[in-house]
Amino acid sequence: MSNILEITDLSKSFPLPSKKKLEILSDLNLSIESGISASIVGKSGCGKSTLLQIAASLLKPTSGSIKIDGKEISKMNERELCNLRCNKMGFIFQSSLLLEDFNALENIEMPLLIKGESKKKAEKRALELIDLVGLMDRKSHRVDQLSGGEKQRIAIARSLANSPRIIFADEPTGSLDEKNASFIEDMLLSLVRKEKTTLILVTHNNVFADKCDKKFILTFGKIEVPEVKEIKTIEDDRNDLIDFGKKIVNEQGSEKFEKSNLNIRLSSFDLAREDD
Amino acid sequence: MKDLQRILLSKILFSSQRKKLKSSYILITLVVILLVLSQVFVDSMTAGITKRYALLGSGHIETSVLNDVSSYDFIEESNDVATGAALAYGKDDISQIVMLKGVDVAYFDYKRASVILINRSEEESTLSNIFISKTLSNQLNIKLGEKLAIVANNGNQRLFPKLCFVKGIYDSGYKELDQYLIFCDKGLLNKIYKNNVMQHKEIILKDGISINQAIVKFDDDGIEAFPWYVLEGDLYQNLITSTQTLMMVFLAIALLSGFFISSVASDLIGSSHRSIAINKLLGLSSKKIRWTYFLAIEIVTLLSIFSGILFGILLSYVLPIFLQFLSLQSIPSLSWYLLEFDIIIPYKKLLFITLSLLIVSILSVYLSLRRANKIEPIYLMNQD
């Protein structure tokens, strides 16, 4: 497998009022293969979000090289970065960052419209994705009419809309309760596997990080030896989904709020099965 | 891209920003309405004053009575008139220098009747009949059918007193023109001034004929002719000054409007900071974002300018009713204005106003929208 992200000798420091520099990342090297999910964990303030922002072209490094799909991004101009973002990248953050004036479906359509797709095509793809995240009945709802979990599901669908090569996620479940968080985590991982998209996840949640194919630990501005993990297959994912569905049915039946969650998982499962 | 542009535009125009844009629309529309009304008022009043001076003062063009102008097809009519200065004595020892204008019986034809209101006395007198203005009548305290003494210096170092009968009181609506002007029979002036009477030919041009063209034509034929704006130089300069002042006011308003539109654009960008950053995160370029906001603001500006012009023109036709109401209020300062005139819509000037406002708004919005370049998606991370 080729590397989708290659970071070499990356350093990032911020100037301080005392003319000294606050060094966040120092000579960091990191390679992530295409199509896997990778988590980056570390203590608060260790620079994991800064690393993600630099990798996602949102922040310029002090020095070093960042290549996405073999192309150096640290020296790209605005036009090249726009092309990169709308064609190859997806983003999910702690707050869903949805457009307030748009409804759920329109938010998912946006990356496609920006990419240059027609409204008709964008709507078709958005409908597929909103169905995948189980919010078809909420498609016309404005953002302020959605719950936190629903907003994150829309954000996940939006991040997948333009079929990106790589999705950057920074604490995507950080603001959700445990139950919702667990559900969103599983959904995100299941969908990126189905779409064969690379996921780079920054989180302080070790349980979530462990669910990814690879886990990296960031300490003192450097990546420590990554833990070797077995990469999950679609079959593993399907088994997980079945277990999760059974658990939900046993715990809460199929009547209430969780019913929709189960449906989503089962529909994801069905899609995965079709892929097989 | 067209779909994206359309969607983004509709979101800016009809979603959270609509209140800001609505108030901007209302304000610009009101400003343009006032500009149109003041422009229509000044232009129509100027045309009304010009028309009165042409018909009652010196014609469009004045030339010597010796010139035969009957062969010129651009002339509507020509009248030989005589003029002379005199002193008029009213009641209570009030006197006033006046200008006697001797005309033929046919002088007050339908054209002139359209610009003045004449009250005629039913009484007859053996004295010479004169027509004085309403202004002069009030100044001298002389009423219709009464007698008025005038004394003229006939040029032979002798004063010539004459008692006249006020057969009519006219009102041109413009005090500046008629406060000294007395119409009488041409024979009376010949009697008073004998051989020293000043005579000239007043020429009224056909509609659409330019005074300058006519002057050039006369000049080519060796006829010395003077346009009314040379003979009434002070008045003409006043009218020009009024027009220029209005234009200066307009330019100041245009600049203020530009400043206002620019602040609306800045405000719009400021309040859309988050959505601009999200769109950039999704890959939308600064250029496309600026263009979308530019279109939104210019659509509102254009709509407000056109609404302002449309409502301004419509209200212009109500202006005479309003002015008539004002004239009935007997406000002294208004007596120096002509308050009854035909409405003329100065389309060229309105086009100039539209284009100027548009250019100012385009420049100011273009400069303000540069703020959008500085918004980076990283802003969202700091808010996260």
List chain B pLDDT tens, one digit each, 384 residues.
578 889 999 988 887 778 888 988 999 999 999 999 998 988 888 888 888 888 888 889 998 877 888 888 899 888 889 988 899 998 888 889 999 999 988 888 878 888 888 888 888 888 989 999 998 998 899 998 999 999 988 776 678 888 999 999 998 888 888 888 999 998 888 888 877 788 899 999 988 889 999 999 999 988 899 999 898 888 889 888 988 888 888 888 888 888 888 888 888 888 889 999 999 999 999 999 999 999 999 999 999 999 999 999 999 988 888 877 777 776 666 666 777 788 889 999 889 888 988 999 999 999 889 888 889 888 887 765
**What DSSP string runs through B41-106?**
HHHHHHHHHHHHIIIIII-SEEE-TTS--TT-TTEEEEEEEEEEEEEEE-STT-EEEEEEEEE-GG
- Strand A198-202 vs strand A37-41: parallel, antiparallel, or unpaired? parallel
Instruction: Give the pLDDT score at A246.
Output: 61
Instruction: Give the pLDDT score at A237.
Output: 59
CB A119 within 8 A of CB A63: no
Crossing angle of helices A148-161 and A178-194, rounded to 10°: 10
* Distance, CA of B199 to CA of B187 (rounded, Å): 12
Q: Residue A238 — very low, low, confident or very high, per pLDDT cuts 50/70/90?
A: low
Q: Considering only CA atoms, which of B95, B83, B81, B86 is closest in space to residue B160?
A: B86
Q: Give the Cα-Cα-Cα angle B190, B196, B201 (nearest 5 degrees).
A: 70
> Does pTM top 0.80 for this prediction?
no
Instruction: Give the pLDDT score at A269.
Output: 41
CB A255 within 8 A of CB A214: no
Q: Residue A15 — very low, low, confident or very high, per pLDDT cuts 50/70/90?
A: confident
A59/B378 Cβ within 8 A: yes
* Distance, CA of B315 to CA of B106 (rounded, Å): 38
Global ipTM: 0.81
Instruction: Give the pLDDT score at A244.
Output: 58
Whether the per-residue pLDDT at A67 is higher than 90: the answer is: yes
Element (H, E) at B169: strand B159-171
Token duo for residue A92: 């999910």
* Distance, CA of A108 to CA of A101 (rounded, Å): 13
What percent of chain A stands above pLDDT 90? 48
Crossing angle of helices A148-161 and A119-132, rounded to 10°: 130
Q: Residue A272 — very low, low, confident or very high, per pLDDT cuts 50/70/90?
A: very low
SS3 content of chain A, % helix, strand, coil (to 5): 45, 25, 30
Positive or negative: CA dihedral B278, B284, B289, B295: negative
Residue A219's alpha-carbon distances to A9, A46, A223, in angstroms, are 15, 6, 6
Instruction: Give the pLDDT score at B183.
Output: 92
Whether the per-residue pLDDT at A199 is higher than 60: the answer is: yes
A240 half-sphere exposure, CB direction, 13 A CA radius:
17
- For B9, name the nearest residue in chain A, comparing CA atoms only: A101
Q: Considering only CA atoms, which of A50, A31, A23, A12 is closest in space to residue A202?
A: A50
Whether the per-residue pLDDT at A265 is higher than 50: the answer is: no
* Distance, CA of A79 to CA of A83 (rounded, Å): 6
Residues whose CB is less than 8 angstroms from the CB of residue B246 and which lie 6 or more positions away in sequence, other chains included: B38, B39, B42
Instruction: Give the pLDDT score at A261.
Output: 47
* Distance, CA of B182 to CA of B203 (rounded, Å): 20
What residues in A contact B282, CB-CB < 8 Å? 85-86, 91, 110-111, 114, 158
Select from B1, B282, B377 the Cβ nearest to the Cβ of A58: B377
Best of A76, A82, A159 to disrupt the B interface (most B CBs within 10 Å) is A82
Residues whose CB is less than 8 angstroms from the CB of residue B371 and which lie 6 or more positions away in sequence, other chains included: B266, B269, B270
Q: What is the pLDDT of residues A124-138, one digit of tens each?
A: 999 999 998 889 999
Positive or negative: CA dihedral B368, B374, B377, B379: negative
Whether the per-residue pLDDT at A275 is higher than 50: the answer is: no
* Distance, CA of B110 to CA of B112 (rounded, Å): 6
Q: Residue A228 — very low, low, confident or very high, per pLDDT cuts 50/70/90?
A: low
Instruction: Give the pLDDT score at B284.
Output: 93
Q: What is the pLDDT of residues A168-179, one digit of tens each?
A: 999 888 877 888
Query: What distance, in Å, lies between the first and last C-alpha atoms of chain A?
Result: 20
Token duo for residue A44: 């608060």
* Distance, CA of B54 to CA of B102 (rounded, Å): 16
B381/A170 Cβ within 8 A: yes
- Strand A63-68 vs strand A71-72: parallel, antiparallel, or unpaired? antiparallel
- Strand A166-170 vs strand A198-202: parallel, antiparallel, or unpaired? parallel
Q: What is the pLDDT of residues A139-151, one digit of tens each?
A: 999 999 999 889 9
Instruction: Give the pLDDT score at A268.
Output: 44
A78/B286 Cβ within 8 A: yes
Best of A12, A85, A97, A121 to disrupt the B interface (most B CBs within 10 Å) is A97
Q: Within an 8 Å CB–CB cutoff, is residue A58 touching chain B?
A: yes
